[in-house]
């Protein structure tokens, strides 16, 4: 690997005063420094996965071993970040069965997830609510408010109604202040958690101008940061462009959902950007080659805009290829993974903003009922598992290189300090006579 671009990035970081603060910060929290993630003083890049089901399985004593198995298998392939749900609202086996009322068994399941992630050296991104009605989502919040006499005409009132927003804020407060029954650490103080996600794939089709979601993000980002300054925060966006960059809207698939990749991610308190990649869903009428062309353009544009316009790190927090697609074969999926991973690595080795990718979704053996076509069982998908492990190793090499360079810089600084002290003590003496 050629190191010249990495050396250049490190020199830039070293000469920013804030970098010295992070060099000394060894508390295990992932932070941002301009367009980069930083962990214990070194730029941080990571390969990861989605596993929305972790809390649900962990809450069942007969199934919680699957959580441990998933983390163990992920760790053995170099995966170091997992994105999962910190919500289940109403319905079957809820975490929150009514506003402000919680199922302790389910919460202990989430406690176990955090504890096991810590054990296997995996950081967590915890999403706080769903845009969709799976596991409740914004629809359940709106229905709770209707049951209290609120006149609401749309599920999008989740983003507007003060009562509904109050329910959501209370959930945020409860999760962030949760005392983990396994680790004895409050969630807001636990470096195992990398980041909070406001909502999985927010959409507000009733207001395509984007003003509704923009106002909601500002309000909720302020709320999260008022409780927890330790952790990073992201919105949960898919990456669709909006009114702030009309010249980019032609890149979107043919729907308008009221989000704005640039404006939403520029909100104060939003620490990094996210993008999802599902060409087989978004341009499903196109052939495989056209879908891959869309993917290339989608990633190139978002990496470029994160670098130049947002100046924040970018995580590709969902991507995949469904085995239910007509004519599917493993080579097609591996080809998509390779494109995504190569874009990330190409950016990372130049000191760019793309910091990692999280495929959708990881399952372990004995979970066929959770399969949605996108699932990866590492023990049953050798070619894809090999691509994943290779990417993990490549990003690990970049991290280790930065760590070595940081140690060299610290040694040089210490030597310079000792030399200055020596000259200070001996100034004015006739040395050598």
Catalytic sites, residue numbers? 201, 318
| Residue 169 burial (10 A CB sphere; 0-12, 13-18, 19+) | middle
Asked whether the beta carbons of 291 and 332 are under 8 A apart, the reply is no
Distance CA 189, CA 192 (A): 9
Distances (CA, A) of 408 to 40, 137, 299, 352, 389: 15, 49, 34, 22, 29
User: Which residues neighbour 67 within 8 Å (Cβ) at sequence distance 6 or greater?
Assistant: 54, 57, 58, 112, 113, 116
Q: Which residues pair with 98 in a beta bridge?
A: 101
Cβ count within 10 A of residue 51: 27
| Residue 75 burial (10 A CB sphere; 0-12, 13-18, 19+) | middle
Asked whether the beta carbons of 336 and 295 are under 8 A apart, the reply is yes
């Amino acid at each position: 690997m050629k190191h010249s671009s990495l050396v250049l990035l490190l020199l830039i970081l070293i000469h920013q005063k804030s970098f010295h603060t992070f060099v000394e910060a060894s508390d295990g929290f992932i932070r941002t420094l301009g367009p980069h993630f930083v962990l214990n003083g070194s730029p941080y890049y990571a390969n990861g996965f989605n596993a929305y089901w972790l809390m649900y399985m962990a809450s069942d004593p007969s199934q919680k071993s699957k959580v441990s198995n998933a983390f163990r298998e992920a760790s053995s392939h170099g995966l170091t970040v997992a994105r999962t749900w910190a919500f289940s609202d109403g319905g079957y086996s809820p975490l929150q069965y009514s506003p402000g009322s919680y199922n302790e068994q389910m919460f202990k399941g989430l406690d176990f997830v955090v504890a096991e992630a810590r054990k296997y050296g995996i950081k967590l991104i915890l999403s706080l609510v769903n845009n969709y009605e799976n596991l409740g989502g914004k629809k359940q919040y709106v229905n709770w408010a209707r049951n209290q006499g609120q006149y609401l005409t749309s599920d999008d009132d989740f983003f507007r109604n003060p009562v509904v927003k109050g329910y959501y804020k209370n959930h945020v407060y409860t999760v962030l202040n949760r005392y983990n029954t396994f680790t004895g650490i409050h969630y807001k103080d636990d470096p195992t958690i990398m980041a909070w996600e406001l909502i999985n794939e927010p959409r507000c089709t009733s207001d395509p101008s984007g003003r509704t979601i923009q106002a909601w993000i500002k309000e909720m980002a302020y709320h999260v940061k008022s409780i927890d300054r330790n952790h990073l925060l992201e919105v949960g966006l898919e990456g669709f462009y909006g009114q702030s960059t009309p010249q980019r809207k032609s890149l979107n698939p043919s729907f308008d959902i009221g989000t704005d990749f640039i404006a939403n991610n520029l909100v104060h308190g939003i620490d990094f950007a996210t993008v999802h990649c599902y060409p087989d869903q978004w341009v499903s009428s196109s052939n495989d080659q056209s879908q891959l062309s869309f993917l290339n353009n989608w990633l190139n544009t978002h990496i470029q805009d994160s670098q130049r316009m947002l100046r924040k790190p970018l995580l590709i927090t969902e991507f995949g290829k469904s085995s239910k697609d007509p004519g599917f074969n493993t080579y097609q999926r591996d080809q998509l993974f390779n494109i995504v991973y190569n874009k990330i690595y190409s950016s990372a080795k130049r000191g760019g903003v793309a910091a990692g990718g999280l495929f959708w979704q990881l399952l372990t053996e004995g979970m066929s009922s959770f399969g949605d076509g996108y699932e990866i069982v590492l023990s049953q998908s050798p070619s894809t598992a090999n691509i994943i492990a290779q990417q993990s190793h490549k990003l690990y090499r970049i991290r280790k290189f930065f760590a070595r360079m940081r140690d060299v810089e610290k040694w040089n600084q210490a030597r310079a300090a000792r030399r200055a002290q020596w000259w200070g003590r001996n100034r004015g003496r006739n040395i050598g006579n």
